[in-house]
Amino acid sequence: MKVNTLNDFINRIPKAELHVHIEGTFEPELMFALAKRNDITLKYASVEELRKAYRFNNLQEFLDIYYEGANVLIQEQDFYDLTIAYLEKCRDENVVHTEMFFDPQTHTHRGIALETVISGIQNALDDAKKNWGITSCLIPNFLRHLSEDDAIKTFNEALEFRELFAGFGLDSSELGHPPAKFERLFRMVNDEGFRAVAHAGEEGPAQNVWDALQLLKVIRIDHGVRSVEDEVLLKELVQKQIPLTVCPLSNLKLKVVQKMEDLPLKTLLENNILATINSDDPAYFGGYINDNYKAVAEALDLGEKEMITLAENSFKASFLSQQEKEKWLKTIEKIYTDFY
Ligand code: ADE
Ligand code: ZN
């Protein structure tokens, strides 16, 4: 089948996105517009100059620029505009369900009220449901480069909005900030009845994935591509049905892999891991979800069957109800049978 046709096929399959940071969807054009509206001067003279800075050798180089960009978000309307722009992409790319991360501390540390952040994001999510039928949930992530005490304080503040959250996660610099640093916090998260997820095995070793599972009791791993370095861990992920939210273009841009052909997605699928495809921070990594599906299809020589499996996995690994999952799995099956 010609690439064009495979691209059309990818566009047509309904998909869930389980790993996207709303702050990472901040396109330079919108950043400049909001900077102007808020009377903030950016370090870069133009959109082109800012885009040129998007060359990263590792996760930390990206995070430094990403946190700087977030400084432009001040008013509730800013968070609304940011979120609705991402949701328009979802509508256009047939993402019918999204589980969205945001970083409360990135904003509260700058004096922005948690309520401002959450209201802006949630109003956009509600509008996307009403206008386009896109379902969603929110997952606040704690910044692992800050202290556990700071995260606990943030968690306690977030409890005021608890009914809006599907769970809590852990992101930011993995190296030097292992899961063990947040054991007490995640005990609280689990005791309060929330789902727990964590970034692990992105830049850090497979041991971080073990620790996220055993110490933090997470039920889904974000990234986790370095799990392939540990065969026993792969068996554990299958046995415990722990999904991985893989982010191909992110892994390439942050040099987790040197080339897309090195992404161990085939190994994960061959080992029956519930691997999914996600965009992570699409404004910084050069593509939204369909570009990520296309990039792996091309580099790893995957076809319609694997695209279907990955889309199915995205629903199976989601926090949707069993009934919703079955509805989307049936829709995908119909697309596949109509195709052949
Ligand atoms: N925050 C935003 N994107 C991230 C990533 N890929 N890893 C860790 N923290 C992040
Ligand atoms: Zn991420």
Going by pLDDT thresholds of 50, 70 and 90, the confidence category of residue 338 is confident
Q: Quickly list H helices, the chain.
A: 3-12, 28-37, 47-52, 59-70, 76-93, 104-108, 114-132, 148-158, 183-191, 206-214, 231-239, 248-253, 265-270, 282-285, 289-300, 304-316, 322-339
325 C-beta closer than 6 A to ligand 1? no
In this structure, what CATH number is given to the domain that contains residue 129? Answer: 3.20.20.140
Q: Whose CA is nearest to atom 1 of ligand 1?
A: 172
Q: Rounded CA gap, 197 and 139, in Å? A: 9
**From the CA of 333, how far away is ligand 1's center (Å)?**
33
* Nearest ligand (C-alpha, residue 19): 2
Residues that are catalytic = 202
Within a domain: residue 44?
Answer: no
Average the pLDDT over 45-66 and give the result: 97
Q: Which ligand is nearest to the CA of 63?
A: 1
Total structural domains in the chain?
1
Q: Using pLDDT thresholds of 50, 70 and 90, give the confidence band for residue 2.
A: low
173, part of any domain: yes
Mean pLDDT of 169-173: 98
Q: What is the pLDDT at residue 27?
A: 98
Cα-based distances in Å from 65 to 53, 149, 252, 334: 8, 25, 17, 43
Return the DSSP state at 280: B
**What pLDDT, on a 0 to 100 scale, did the predictor assign at position 64?**
97
Q: Is the pLDDT of residue 1 over 60?
A: no
142: helix, coil or strand? strand
- Confidence at 3, pLDDT banded by 50, 70, 90: low
Average pLDDT, the chain: 97
Which atom of ligand 1 is the closest one to the Cα of 171?
A: 9
| C-alpha 144 – ligand 2 centre gap (Å) | 12
Among 1-10, 248-257, 284-293, name the one with the lowest average pLDDT: 1-10
Percent share of the chain, pLDDT over 70: 99
Does 55 fall in a domain? Answer: no
In a domain, 188, yes or no: yes
Average pLDDT over residues 189-204: 98
Point out the least confidently predicted range of 163-167, 204-208, 319-323, 332-336: 332-336
With tokens 């997605």, the residue in question is 265
CA distance 113 to 79: 12
This prediction's pTM: 0.98
For 90-114, how does the pLDDT look when each residue is reduced to its tens digit (9 = 90+)? 999 999 999 999 999 999 999 999 9
Averaged pLDDT for residues 121-125 = 98
The residue range of the domain holding 88 is 3-20+75-339
**Phi, psi for 206 (deg, rounded to 5):** -55, -30
The C-alpha angle with vertex 23 and arms to 18 and 24, in degrees rounded to 5, equals 65
Which residues, other chains included, contact 236 with Cβ-Cβ below 8 Å and sequence gap of 6+?
Answer: 210, 213, 242
- pLDDT for position 32: 98
Query: Closest Cα partner for 69 from 45, 94, 44, 100?
Result: 44
Check pocket membership of 59 for ligand 1, CB cut-off 6 A.
yes
